[in-house]
Structure 1
């Protein structure tokens, strides 16, 4: 049973990393290359879409990692899992304090009501997102290491 939990947790976190990596290094550059109104509308739509799913994914990944750490407390690699869970906590806190407030504003913007500094706000979100991606990649790496 513990083996199934370990594999499932690693897959869930790995998929989350893949999505967030893709947002940072594939989707955002594509959306930013669109004409201004289309770019802003696409970012807002992406914010609504992913903003509805990602909280469950982040919290679910954290819970799965915590359950793995508790269930495998006396097994090898538990320190790595605990550290990974700690990094996932950092990613959730970062999200709540830094990224979600910007995303909540962004997802309501239209070309008619967006603020003058909308590009600067999106750039700030992207910088925070790069850091968050690095944090979750580190967590994923630790989980994979603990798994093997």
Structure 2
């Protein structure tokens, strides 16, 4: 049962890392290259779509990591899982405090109602997102290391 928990947790976090990495380094670059208002419209749509999914994914990853840490407390690698869990807590806090407020505003924007500084706000979100990606990549690395 512990092996299944370890695999499911690692795969779930790994998929989350892949999605967030793709947003940071692929999708946003594609969006930035789109003509006229398409960049802002694509970001708003992505914010709505992923904004519904990601809270469950982040919290689920954190909960599974905590269960793994408790279940494997007396085994080697448990410390690595605790570190990964701590990093996932940091990622959730970063999301709630830094990224979600910007996302909640930007997902409602249209070319007609967006603020004059919409691009600066999008760039700020991108910078925070790069940092969050680094945190969850580190968490994933610790989880993977705990398996071996």
TM-score, length of structure 2 as denominator length: 0.99
Distance 2:131 2:97 in 1: 13
Shift of 1:35: 1.7
Count of residue pairs brought into register by the alignment? 148
Task: Find the aligned partners of 1:97 and 1:28 in 2 and give their Cα distance.
Answer: 21
Matching residue of 2:64: 64
Structure 2 unaligned residues grouped into runs of 5+: none
Is 1:93 matched up with 2:93?
Answer: yes
Question: 1:56: how far off?
Answer: 0.2
Q: What's 2:147 paired with? A: 147
C-alpha separation in 2, matches of 1:36 and 1:120? 16
Matches within 5 A, 1:40-51: 40-51=40-51
Q: How does 1:1-148 map to 2 (within 5 A)?
A: 1-148=1-148
In 2, the alpha carbon distance for the partners of 1:35 and 1:126 equals: 19
Offset of residue 17 of structure 1: 0.2
Q: Tell me how far apart the structure 2 counterparts of residues 46 and 114 of structure 1 sit (CA, whole Å).
A: 16
Which sections of structure 1, spanning at least 5 residues, go unmatched? none
After TM superposition, the score normalised by the length of structure 1 is: 0.99
Q: CA deviation at 1:48?
A: 0.2
1: CA distance between counterparts of 2:35 and 2:97? 30
RMSD between aligned alpha carbons? 0.4
Q: Secondary structure at the match of 1:125?
A: helix
Shift of 1:98: 0.1
Question: Offset at 1:36?
Answer: 3.1
Determine the C-alpha separation between the residues in 2 that align with 1:35 and 1:122. 16
Bigger shift: residues 32-41 or 121-130:
32-41
